[in-house]
Structure 1
Amino acid sequence: MAVDAVDAAQIRSALVRLRRTTGLPVAFGGLVESGRRQVRISELSGTATTALSALAVTAGNGLGGRAVALSRPCAVTDYSVSRQISHEYDLPVAAEGLRSVLAVPVVVRRRVRGVLYGALRTAQPLGDRTLSAAVAAARDAEQALVLRDEADDLLAAAAPGAHAPGAAGGAGWEQVREAHAALRELVPRNTDPALRDELLRACGLLVAGS
């Protein structure tokens, strides 16, 4: 699935929550690029430089790449000297002055879709409460992306040409109506205004097409 502005907005919102609930001064993250095993850092919060902007993190490399490869949260107390990770990204991390860093994968339908990072500019243990709060922020992003995927699936199923020949009559429009009802049910499950508006626009398209 291609990365788009709405998906990126979910990462941005999750980073805001991560900083608010953990108290970490720096957060950044991005989504897995379509068809590739790498995360592109696109969202920065609390950074002092642009050293991390657009950085491509390959699965298995560095802290975020390790989180992608293992599909679980990872953390280091002092990034530059940690023996738990490889060090392909030491230069941009050092340029931003980061020491203690955590990385939490955003996993949707058993596939890593992105990574959230939180960091300190001092070397000290981040603690279980901080990691739990970061994981909760990632879960928010996961739920929003699940809703987006469900909406896309429903729209694809109801789109013209998605049915067998001759199905565009009563049975076809019945499927469109069912898709519309399912989309309407998704709206109150989501608290993100941008995604909620997109779901409502999709409902409007289905109504207009009926």
Structure 2
Amino acid sequence: MRIIYLLFFLLFIAGCSKGPAPAPTVAFGYNRNVFEVGEKIEVVNKSQNVTRYEWFIDSSRDSVKTDANPIFNGRTTVGTHTITLEGYNADGVKNEAVNPFQVGERRLSLVRITAVNLSRPNGQPWHADGSGPDVYVVLTSPTGVVIRTVDYTNVQASTLPLIAAFFNNSEPILRNGNWSLQFYDNNGGRTPELMFTMPIVLTAPPADRNVDGYGTYTFQSGNYAAKFEINTL
């Protein structure tokens, strides 16, 4: 009997000696620093000693998430947004972290014309005097908005790539859809002549986009090629 009492006593002592749960350390980040409008927000959880999570975005508790690594629907407005995490340990002690993130639109910051046909399809020079084409480029959006570059006179292999600057929109928004890039010879200021039309289909951000929203598209068709540099602003 004494042995049984002793066992109960030891169990009682062990139960009483159990200390509080470790304090929760609440921390998290994101899979990127800048997101596109509408792009899903992936959270990277770095918390410790947390057994229960409550996440909410932009101070809205209408859709609190409770999993460890939630994915939030993309934001519809450009600017700074925040996600808040309230983490609780096994004793219900709460700690909190708030992290901002940026949302922007995919913008065309620069176009490099890397290849053009320096002679006509029949092999003849573009101009009677043998000079190269006076190239300008027109970018047409899915809604028909036309953006024109400046002229580049007497284009030769040695002058490529051309760094295209646009007249009426320095950083157009590159939304998904069917675009076209048209190459013209301005013909020394006379009647412009269409050299080539390159169809461009955008369905997603550039594959090489970094966490800050910079990336490039490369397009090539026939003897024509262009490289788009994009930023997310």
**Which one has the bigger helix percentage?**
1
Q: Same fold (TM over 0.5)?
A: no
TM-score range, shorter chain: under 0.3
- Normalised by the length of structure 1, the TM-score is 0.27
Larger Rg: 2
- Normalised by the length of structure 2, the TM-score is 0.25
